[in-house]
Structure 1
Amino acid sequence: MNFIEKHPEAVGETAPTDDGKTVLHYAVEAVRVDIVKKLLPYIMADDYLEIEDDEWCSALDYCSMLPDKDEMVEIAKCLVQKKEELSAGGVDYPYLLVEAFINGRPKMADYLYKVTPLKTDDTHAAALISLSFGTKRFDIACDLIQRYPSLAVAEDFSEKSPLNVLACTPSAFLSGSELKFWEKWIYHGIYIKPSPTIKSETIDEDNKGKPTATPDAISIDVVPTQGDGKDNYKQSGLIRSGINRIYHMKLNHVRSLEILSCMCKVLTTEEMKSLDEKQEKFVETAIVQAAERGLVEFMTHIFRVNPNLVKTLDDKGRNLFQVAVECRQAKVFNLIHALTKDTKKDVMSLTDNDDNNMLHMMGLFSPFAQTNRIRGAALQMQKELQWFQELENMARPEDLEAVNDTHDMKPRDFFSKNHIELVKEGEKSMKETATSCTVVCALIVTMMFAAAFTVPGGNEDDGDPVLLKRRAFRVFIVADAISLFTSTTSVMLFLGILTSRYAEEDFLISLPRKMILGLLTLFLSVAAMMIAFAAALFLMLPKDSWIAVPTNLVTGIPIASFIWMQFPYLMEIFISTYMPGIFDRNVELNLGKIRFKA
């Protein structure tokens, strides 16, 4: 400082041997608030603050990149104030705000947002909203979109709009997240406090002033505790049970829907008339992107404010329901039931640029179909047949005979042609499972048949079992018989699978039913076999219970192993075959006035 007092111009000199940094760069990098404050009086020109190092970073740029500390925010305040004093035309920091947002510096972002003027046509403002869906930081995004809903269709740095980014973020919605049944119970039981709303009188109507206030930062690194029902959360042992993760997920979903609700203000029928061609394209593309990913909440929010957007087409001339069928998004396709009966028939007959109607879409596979979520090729084929059957029931007779341009094929022929490989894979997987299970069943049959004639304790001279009057012996005989009969039945069922013709329609009911009964009888035979073994052990060691009891407890391991590894597969087949499917006709959306034209 003594040197700088004698040579004030040294503040603007760069170090020749170390990446072109000035003394101010070093002070900021070292997070020395005291030194920065002492240096500022010697900075007499705005150019000094704009000096960049060899990485093209000014001292103020460092603030959005270095660790997020209160001291760093204090340094940023000092530099901003100094720059405002030296700049007659004011200061503009939107790029710093975006950098702080990208780099995960919430404290710095909060401060810069308070001092940064943002406009409705500013790409930086649009980028902040777009980034919020990936960074899961929604406070600034919620505030911005409430003030300026038109930012929903403003172009950001990636030449997309925040609406498009949200439509491409499945994790922002419940329909794009996978939850087990018990996780859904927890999810629906968690309360999320709504974000603070912006009062109309605080909104800067001329879109030029700085924000008057920002909502408090939203913390998403905590779990709910029992308390007053508000957002009062703290770390607890429940984190280990997954509640923390589910809470984070729901918080993200609620905030995303709040932002979407604000975006919908510019998507009404009246507001859409004021959008330019590029903005209209943003909206149409976003709806198609949401349909491809199955984000039904995104679509219903928009259709409620502007039902006409349900007629949106993609670049191939396909309507949203055709896109949903191609991508196998049942929740989106179910929206068709919000239309009238006649309109549904009309939609089923509509064709794309290649003359493919709705049924032809079942012969196409989209990368968004995510059929890998279904276990095994056989179940995948069953699901495909259920889709086609649902569409057949809704279509007109002439739609079943319609021929497309690209392949000159009817829907059923087109479906069969494109599912040949899936049928082969399903046949292979079913046969492999049946073969393995048949070997196990045959071994159980052999053992249980032999055990019936070599009973514990042997036989008397007249042939009666020695231990006939013991209760454990009766348990042994009954369990042995049950195991023998069920394993024999299981063998017959699996042989039926091995000798099946494996036609397409067999994958719908016939093969899954045989597999369900085969696995169920196999499980019963294994369980009965272990019960028979336990009963025999009690018969052989009536006075040594200290050996028999622990050993019999271990017999539960094979049963538990079967339940752990095979029972989920069994339940999945059962639910897919006999339980209500993925198609739901009870849609809480009124699109009765919408008409489609061929």
Structure 2
Amino acid sequence: MYWYLSLKGDGDGDENSCNDNTDYEPLFHAAKLSKWDVVMDFIKKHPEAVTETAPTDDDKTVLHYAVDAVRVDIVKQLLPFIKDKDDLEIMDGECCTALEYCYMLPDKDEMVEIAKCLVQKTEELIAGGVDYPYLLVEAFINGRPKMADYLYKVTQLKTDDPRAAQLISLSFSTKRFDIACDLIQQYPSLAVAEDYSDNSPLNELACTPSAFFSGSQLKFWEKWIYHDLQCSNGFISRTNNQEYPQVFCVIIYMVFNVKNLGINRIYQMKLNHVRSLEILSCMCKVLTTEEIKNLTTKQEKFVETAIIQAAERGLVEFITHIFRVNPNLAKTTDDKGRNLFQVAVECRQAQVFNLIHGFNKDTKKTLMSLTDDDDNNMLHMAGLFSPFAHTNRIRGAALQIQKELQWFEELESMASPEDLEAVNDTHDMKPRDFFSKNHIELVKEGEKSMKETATSCTVVCALIVTMMFAAAFTVPGGNNGDDGIPILLNRTAFRVFIVADAISLFTSTTSVMLFLGILTSRYAEEDFLISLPRKMILGLLTLFLSVAAMMIAFAATLFLIFPKDSWIAVPTNLVTAIPIASFIWMQFPYLVEIFISTYMPGTFDKNVKLNLGKVRFAV
């Protein structure tokens, strides 16, 4: 009752007159309870109350309360009572104005409408408005796309404002490429402008692998879909790309639900990649041979660092776009004096390293001989490890060391005899010795992994051998007592049983021999390249065949034991598929991965078409 009486005033003088003794507690109490009729009645009687703050609630004004409650109507009614620019800039206890609430609260259309009202009022009271670039950046950071879109329309950005560069940098992490693309098209120089992170948008893009196809991890069928989709006007359509089977994608799209298969996700991914390349193309306008001369020393450093960052992450599209506008940037080196191809080898980025084949034979020979500040040549780089190598993506230490050996062999085939004998400064070692020294632990882990797998599989194979050998002499139905010939010899199911039993016995015995060969191997470094993987492939393959043949023999036995009209045989035989399916699900992918890694690596591609002209590398 106290707050209601207070709202009526003391009864002296004009009801709208300012009274220093006015009690504002009922006002804030009503605002907190969203009793807006009471609030507006109070404001009409005491207009000065619009600038008062609530001492017990973070110093909020009535306008703060209205914005916080997302009440567009109340905000519009309150704004006419604000007569001074300082009234709009009143901050609460968290140092936030009412306008700043707009990018902190949920991203709704009502919040955008409130922001419009506040911006219009601000422009009436303050020439030029407020610091919209700051608000725009904050809307990006807080993930408010609707608010960001509106603020971008009313914001006048300057090319020398770090916040303009910050917006482009933020767009890559927030996937808001539309604003970034519009900005960079208008002001290409923002590509190398410094943002608040002491970086540039070009560096931020180079550090965003998800912005490019080469930096995205997709399954093989997802790659098919990706290459078969064309981003056009917000719809999914097919391209004329013959590299992947288009019929496969069409059937999937028509038969299955798009959302469940993740096709929409792949489409959005490709759309982002297309936009990233558009932005990169605009950025490259300031990197041409002529334009790059106008850059400051710091901006040149941004460009050099961005190229190295892209090489570390394997973003081949980023690098090729830049090289096409300025081939001389291929000579970029990092702080350790390593060129981008040496960096690519250290980080095991094959797509970037393959660009070396875009040069002529003499240039490639020069590149292979170039050394860093520690006299490490290209071959020495294969002995180094980088966090960007992502060797943990390869299943098992055995395949990891195999991939490492493939890298060294590829480099060895391209190097001259002098490069093979070159000695570095830090360890005084040749490339092969340097490689072996730094891979000792990985070889040990590979040996342990191989032995554990071979031991487990040997036990399984031995059990199958035992069972199949015994089954061959205890045939279903028994033998004739006179001549020992199986009683059910003329039954088709019996013949299936004998053949399956024999296949299972022979393949499991072969598998045992192969796995024993793995266990007794010397485990030399070079054995992990072909010898050991080949034995593992044959061992797993024969083990799979032995398991499949064993289950077929079991199924044939059921048909022999139970009558033809029995309801037990058929459903029981269907269950026999479970072990085979389980093996395929758990072990077959590993078998396929070893096979591809050993016989179809496809890591290196020498058919790179990249016309870089004449680029001279100083030896």
TM-score by length of 2: 0.89
Aligned residue for 1:573? Answer: 594
Q: Partners in 2 of 1:593 and 1:77 — Cα distance? A: 56
Aligned residue for 1:358? Answer: 378
The Cα shift of 1:327 comes to 0.4
Aligned residue for 1:210? Answer: none
Bigger shift: 564-573 or 4-13? 4-13
Instruction: Describe the shift of the 1:468–1:3 C-alpha distance in structure 2 as closer, same or farther (beyond 3 A).
Output: closer
Aligned residue for 2:512? Answer: 491
Aligned residue for 1:55? Answer: 94
The Cα shift of 1:93 comes to 0.8
Q: Partners in 1 of 2:355 and 2:98 — Cα distance? A: 54
Aligned residue for 2:554? Answer: 533
The question of whether the paired residues in 1 share the 8 Å contact of 2:327 and 2:613 is answered with no
Q: Please tell me whether residue 311 in structure 1 is matched to residue 331 in structure 2.
A: yes
Q: Partners in 1 of 2:145 and 2:220 — Cα distance? A: 35
The Cα shift of 1:580 comes to 4.3
The Cα shift of 1:555 comes to 0.8
Aligned residue for 1:393? Answer: 413
Aligned residue for 2:522? Answer: 501
Q: Partners in 2 of 1:88 and 1:346 — Cα distance? A: 62
Counterpart mapping for 1:250-269 below 5 A: 250-269=270-289
Counterpart of 1:274 (choices 294, 297, 312) is 294
Counterpart of 2:72 (choices 2, 25, 33) is 33
Q: Partners in 2 of 1:262 and 1:59 — Cα distance? A: 37
The Cα shift of 1:543 comes to 2.8
Aligned residue for 1:214? Answer: none
Q: Partners in 2 of 1:174 and 1:458 — Cα distance? A: 64
Q: Please tell me whether residue 597 in structure 1 is matched to residue 597 in structure 2.
A: no
Query: Which secondary structure does the structure 2 equivalent of 1:64 belong to?
Result: helix
Aligned residue for 1:185? Answer: 224
Q: Aligned Cα RMSD in Å?
A: 1.6
The Cα shift of 1:237 comes to 3.7
Structure 1 residues not aligned, in runs of 5+: 195-218, 227-232
Deviation digits for residues 141-195 of structure 1 (CA, Å, limit 9, x no counterpart): 111111111111111111111111111111111111111111111111222127x
Counterpart of 1:122 (choices 128, 144, 161) is 161
- Number of equivalenced pairs: 563
The Cα shift of 1:7 comes to 3.3
Q: Please tell me whether residue 374 in structure 1 is matched to residue 394 in structure 2.
A: yes
Aligned residue for 1:4? Answer: 43
The question of whether the paired residues in 1 share the 8 Å contact of 2:402 and 2:529 is answered with yes
What code does the residue aligned with 1:315 have?
D
Aligned residue for 2:192? Answer: 153
The Cα shift of 1:9 comes to 2.4
Aligned residue for 2:10? Answer: none
Aligned residue for 1:207? Answer: none
Counterpart mapping for 1:132-531 below 5 A: 132-193=171-232, 224=236, 237-460=257-480, 461-531=482-552
The Cα shift of 1:503 comes to 0.4
Deviation digits for residues 340-388 of structure 1 (CA, Å, limit 9, x no counterpart): 0111011000000000000001111001110001000010011000000
The question of whether the paired residues in 2 share the 8 Å contact of 1:93 and 1:116 is answered with yes
Q: Partners in 1 of 2:126 and 2:279 — Cα distance? A: 35
The Cα shift of 1:67 comes to 1.7
The question of whether the paired residues in 2 share the 8 Å contact of 1:92 and 1:117 is answered with no
Bigger shift: 383-392 or 15-24? 15-24
The Cα shift of 1:541 comes to 1.3
Bigger shift: 446-455 or 539-548? 539-548
The Cα shift of 1:90 comes to 4.4
Query: Which secondary structure does the structure 1 equivalent of 2:556 belong to?
Result: helix
Query: Which secondary structure does the structure 1 equivalent of 2:432 belong to?
Result: helix
Deviation digits for residues 559-580 of structure 1 (CA, Å, limit 9, x no counterpart): 1111111110000010011114
Aligned residues with identical type, % of pairs: 85
The question of whether the paired residues in 2 share the 8 Å contact of 1:133 and 1:169 is answered with yes
Deviation digits for residues 75-108 of structure 1 (CA, Å, limit 9, x no counterpart): 2112111111112344431111111122222221
Bigger shift: 497-506 or 587-596? 587-596
